[in-house]
């Protein structure tokens, strides 16, 4: 069955594009596996400000010009 794979969020697509494993983001950010998985695989999840800050701190190690609204609808 084609299309059975979940649609990736902007965060998930960024991770894929940079060949970054979600587990790496879990370790670097200190956030939970479920939180990172949900945010990478769903546009329906609204992260807290603190969660966004933790993720962006890690993302900016890869792309210093990245902005939170590149990944999240804030």
33: in domain:
yes
Q: Which two tokens stand for residue 22?
A: 């979600």
Q: Does 2 reside within a domain? A: no
The answer to the question of residue 1 being in a domain is: no
Q: Minimal CA–CA distance to 62: which of 26, 29, 20, 8?
A: 20
Query: Does residue 3 lie in a domain region?
Result: no
pLDDT score of 36: 97
Q: What is the pLDDT of residue 74?
A: 78
Domain of residue 48 covers 10-70
pLDDT classification of 4: cutoffs 50, 70, 90: very low
Q: Is residue 15 part of a domain?
A: yes
DSSP state, 47? -
pLDDT of 44:
86
The yes-or-no verdict on residue 6 having pLDDT over 80 is: no
Domain count for the chain, please give it: 1
In a domain, 54, yes or no: yes
Q: Is residue 19 part of a domain?
A: yes
Give the chain's end-to-end CA distance (angstroms, integer).
Answer: 34
Name the H helices within 1-74.
Answer: 10-17, 22-29, 33-41, 49-62
Whether residue 69 has pLDDT greater than 60: yes
The CATH number of the domain holding residue 33 is: 1.10.260.40
Q: At 29, is the pLDDT very low, low, confident or very high (cuts 50, 70, 90)?
A: very high
Q: CA 47, 48, 49, 52 torsion: positive or negative? A: negative
């Amino acid at each position: 069955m084609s299309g059975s794979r979940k649609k990736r969020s902007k965060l998930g697509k960024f991770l894929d594009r940079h060949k970054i494993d979600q587990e790496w983001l879990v370790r670097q950010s200190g956030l939970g596996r479920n939180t990172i998985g949900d945010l990478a695989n769903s546009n329906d999840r609204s992260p807290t400000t603190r969660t966004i800050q933790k993720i962006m701190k890690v993302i900016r190690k890869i792309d210093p010009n990245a902005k939170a609204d590149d990944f999240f609808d804030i």
